[in-house]
Structure 1
Amino acid sequence: MKKRNLRKRRIRGIGIVIAIIFFISRLWPILGTNKQTHIATYGKVEETISVESFIVRNEKVITSGMGKAEYFIAPGEKVAKGQKIAKYILSEEDQSKAKQQLNVIESRIKNIENSQKENSLLKSDLTKIDNQLTQHIDLIQTAINEEDYETADNLKRELDDILDKKNVISGDQSFSGGNLSSLEQEKKLLKEQISNTTKMIHANYAGYIGLGKDGLEEILNMDTVKELQPSDVKTIRNILNDNKKYKDEEGNSALRIITSHRYNIIIPLDKNEVKGLTIGQTLNIREPGDEREYNAQIKKIINDKEANNSLLILNVSEHLPGFHYKRHISLELIKDTRDGIVIPTESIVEQNGNLGVFRVNRIGYIRFIPINVLSQNDKDTVVQNTFFLNDNRERISTITYYDEIVLNPSQYEDGQKIR
């Protein structure tokens, strides 16, 4: 009796072992996958670019920010035209600071006016400047080809200076003209505050309240943005840097009214990054580390063939956090998003002019399977599922979900047994 029970237990144990071996063999493509292979699954691939950008708003500075302020409306809130928004009290010390700042602004105005007078005599030299630009671009290319990168960097700095000179020569339509207009407006506001020790501020426009100023309010708006050139980005950065010290001295208490909920974002790109983008195209943007995406539409693409740079202008109607006070922000520009079968980009191999992957069958042999790439970045690729049509409209079988593919195809040959 005991021997019969022992025999039954042995048979049952052998049966369990056989069952376990059977299930492992069936699930091996998934459970047995090692670092040499990958299981194709559903996912999403984004083609993104990390960029610096500048917010362009329609706004008006209504106070210079000097004095002790009492605000009746919080930054970012909507106000009606004529609504009381703040009270400024100017002490003797504040008046003294305002006079000092007024002197600085008048000096800056004089420098710009002198620069424009000097450059107005040089408009006939634009052809000469264009020739200098062409020569410098050729010299930069030669230096790069000869791997003389120090000379190339020096030539690039000289090229920036020549471009600045060309922009200034264009007179009041240039950024120097716009900056002059902005400084004249600031001069007017300071004179008003110096003459009034206490002043009640009312909104002279309907819109959103903004706190602080950066010197670009009058020159970077949705009208002037149409005339921007890629070379103007350097001027924008310079104006922001010049105004940082004044912002610190004033306590950043100047008041602005943003007159529209719509705004533009300008993004400097190089000639390769702008490829595939078209005017009118809708794409998404987001701040680094934030999953929330915002819709944007390409308003204009401005190319500078001499410097191989471009400027992307976006229309945005959704409010980015802090859109009423931020100017210079980092963004992720999402050029394309596709979902489907996602495989590692490193798993793709070319065979006889066709892209594909090595798929592992149940008994461990690999076979080349052609694929159709829908979207790709450095890490992942989205490919078509089950089949696709080639250039001759022929139906081509391809991989599907949960296929096992080889990660490093260069190490293997088609038909090789890998396990």
Structure 2
Amino acid sequence: MSQEERKRKRKIKKRWRFFWISLIFIFLFFRSVPSLFATAFKTVLPDKYIIEDKIETEAIIIRRESLYKADGEGTIEIYVDHGDRVAVGTKVAKITLLDDTSTLKQELEEIENKIEVLTKTKLDSEGIKKDEEKLKENIGNIIGDIQTSINQNDYERAEILKDKLSMYDGKQKDIGRDDTLISQSLENLNEKRDKVKKQIISNTENYFSKESGIVSFKIDGYEEIYSISHKDDYKYSDFKEIVNNQRIVSNNDTIKTDEPVFKIIDNFQWYMIVKIENMKDISSYEEGDPILLTGEEVEGELKGYIERISDEKDKGLIVVRFNTDFHNYFDKRGLDINIIKFKYDGYRIPKKAILEKDEINGVYIKEISGIIRFRPIEILDEDDEFAYISKGDNNYNINIKGSDTPVRTVREFDEILLNTISIKEGMIIN
């Protein structure tokens, strides 16, 4: 084979090789075209979403709380569980006192001194009883004289004797009342003395509930600072940051004298004081109105009633009353909350799908026929990724700038185009 024939064959092979390579590239290109178009025309449906007009703020819970403090230092034994509801007279805890009973002995000495004083007073009152007998005799004589005066028609003398009788009768009642009070006081003091003597002997102190309610062993130190008795006095300046320094009293803990042991909380009615940074935000609210609260620390939606609105210039607070859901909040104090002013049923859509046309915000949607249409939208709220838009009226219409009549907005099953580049209204896509 000549050299020229070999060159010719090599050229033919190169051409065939180029042909096949080109064919492969063309094939791959056409395979990729549908995916390119799919990306360009990718759509999403609007996502149903509840849009809230809310005020983010803070609240402090106030309750009717009765603190029970230790009468001496010792070790505690608990008889009920945290969160239990107890009746009046329920034994909640017992403190076994340390060896030092000096406090109890001092209390016993004070009681005995009081008993001594009252006993002397009672002896004196017994002496007065002799006067009481004389009073009775005098009263009897006066009654007889009054009857005689009436029989003799001496009504003037009878009237004077009547006044004298009233005076003697008053003295008699005072003597009897004083004697009754002294006897009752002595009886109570004797009972208390017996109780203290038994405590010194047994070296224990029992604690019974004096009211019904929920028992809590979580002591946060704010029980007397944020008290229900002051709910009508709190102002914005009284709203302090809540520091989480709860102390939980447990079995066998050592308790010091005057240290809180537990508290009993009224679970029928409780309150929040809610901080308001700008009073204009709650201008639509009045005392007595219902109010809806939510938040990460709130269980679902919490409904209460505004009992008081307090303002200091442009800031203030509101006192909100509740009578439900107490079990979710009985051991909480400070909360981050949202005041829900209004709620809307709307849609959530990706922000990247939104464009502006003739100074009107909107999106492109693909109709069933494949025709691209522009739909104006009303943005109610937005975040970094999504916009929250109105559903419009019952006919999915909204009011837009420059139009005297409502126009159609996005509906639930409209396919919204995500990529708005090179898209025009009226285009037809599959």
1:376 to 376, 381, 403: 381
Among 237, 256, 265, the residue aligned to 1:258? 265
- Matched residue type, 1:255: F
Aligned length: 285
Letter of the 1:384 counterpart: K
Residues 364 and 389 of structure 1: is their aligned pair in 2 closer, same or farther, counting only changes over 3 Å? Answer: closer
Q: Pairwise CA RMSD of aligned residues?
A: 4.5
- Aligned runs of 1:263-302 on 2, under 5 Å? 263-271=270-278, 274=281, 278-279=285-286, 280-288=289-297, 292-302=300-310
Matched, 1:358 2:364: yes
Helix, strand or coil: the match of 2:239? Answer: helix
Deviates more, 1:207-216 or 1:390-399: 390-399
CA positional deviation for 1:334: 4.5
**Alpha-carbon distance, 1:199 to partner:** 1.6
Mapped to 1, the partners of 2:42 and 2:311 lie a distance apart of: 45
Q: Which moved more, 1:84-93 or 1:351-360?
A: 351-360
What residue in structure 2 maps to residue 388 of structure 1? Answer: 397
Q: Secondary structure at the match of 2:224?
A: coil
Superposition pairs of residues 1-400 of structure 1, within 5 angstroms: 37-47=43-53, 51-64=57-70, 67-92=74-99, 197-234=203-240, 237=242, 240=243, 254-271=261-278, 274=281, 278-279=285-286, 280-288=289-297, 292-305=300-313, 309-319=315-325, 323-331=329-337, 333-344=339-350, 347-348=353-354, 351=357, 354-361=360-367, 366-372=372-378, 375-378=380-383, 379-384=386-391, 386-388=395-397, 390=399, 394-400=405-411
Amino acid at match of 2:94: K
2:414 maps to what in 1? 403
Report deviation, 1:213. Answer: 2.6
Once the two structures are superposed, what CA deviation does each residue of 1:57-107 show, in whole Å capped at 9, x if it has no partner? 1111122495322222222222222332222222158999xxxxxxxxxxx
- SS state at 1:315 partner: strand
Q: Structure 1 CA distance, aligned partners of 2:422 and 2:280?
A: 34
CA contact (8 A) 1:283 1:336 kept: no
SS in 2 for 1:254: strand
**Match for 2:292: what amino acid?**
L
Q: Secondary structure at the match of 1:74?
A: coil
The offset of 1:256, in angstroms, is: 1.0
1:131: which partner in 2?
none
Question: Structure 1 residue 259: deviation in Å?
Answer: 2.4
Separation (CA, whole Å) in 1 of partners of 2:231 and 2:40: 54
Task: State the distance in 1 between where 2:398 and 2:248 align.
Answer: 63
In structure 2, give the amino acid aligned to 1:282: I
User: 1:56: how far off?
Assistant: 0.9
Amino acid at match of 2:46: A
> Matches of 2:411 and 2:324 in 1, distance apart?
38
Kindly state the Cα deviation for residue 286 of structure 1 after the two structures are TM-superposed.
4.3
Find the aligned partners of 1:200 and 1:257 in 2 and give their Cα distance.
Answer: 16
Is the Cα contact below 8 Å between 2:290 and 2:303 reproduced in 1? no
Q: Could you tell me which amino acid in structure 2 is paired with residue 68 of structure 1?
A: T
The CA deviation string for residues 153-205 of structure 1, in whole angstroms up to 9 with x for no partner, is xxxxxxxxxxxxxxxxxxxxxxxxxxxxxxxxxxxxxxx9xx97522112122
Q: 1:399 to 1:95 in 2, by over 3 A?
A: farther
Residues 233, 54 of structure 1: alpha-carbon distance in 2 compared, 3 angstrom cutoff: same
Structure 1 residue runs without a partner (length 5+): 1-24, 97-191
Equivalents in 1 of 2:320, 2:367: separation in Å? 49
1:344 Cα deviation after fit: 3.8
> Does the CA contact (< 8 Å) of 1:53 and 1:265 recur in 2?
yes
Judging changes above 3 Å, is the alpha-carbon distance between structure 1 residues 372 and 50 closer, same or farther for their aligned structure 2 residues? closer
C-alpha change, 1:218 and 1:81, in structure 2 (3 Å) is same
Do the aligned partners of 2:82 and 2:215 also contact (CA within 8 Å) in 1?
yes
1:284/1:335 contact within 8 Å kept: no
**Further displaced range: 381-390 or 269-278:** 269-278
Q: CA deviation at 1:208?
A: 1.6
Separation of aligned partners in 2, 1:413 and 1:32: 13
CA distance in 2, matches of 1:93, 1:417: 94
Give the TM-score normalised by the residue count of structure 1: 0.53
Task: Give 5+ residue unaligned stretches, structure 2.
Answer: 1-33, 104-195
CA offsets 1:372-405 (integer angstroms, 9 cap, x no match): 45x5343341422543364998342222122123
User: Alpha carbons of 1:95 and 1:44: their partners in 2 closer, same or farther (altered >3 Å)?
Assistant: farther
The secondary structure found in structure 2 opposite 1:313 is: strand
CA contact 2:365–2:417 (8 Å) conserved in 1: yes
Tell me: CA distance 1:397–1:244, structure 2 relative to 1, closer, same or farther (3 Å): closer
Q: Distance in 2 between matches of 1:214 and 1:76?
A: 15
Quote the Cα distance in structure 2 between the aligned partners of 1:327 and 1:382.
Answer: 36
Same amino acid, percent of matched pairs: 24
Following TM superposition, by how much is the alpha carbon of 1:335 offset from its aligned partner in structure 2, in angstroms?
Answer: 4.5
Q: Does 1:415 align with 2:425?
A: yes
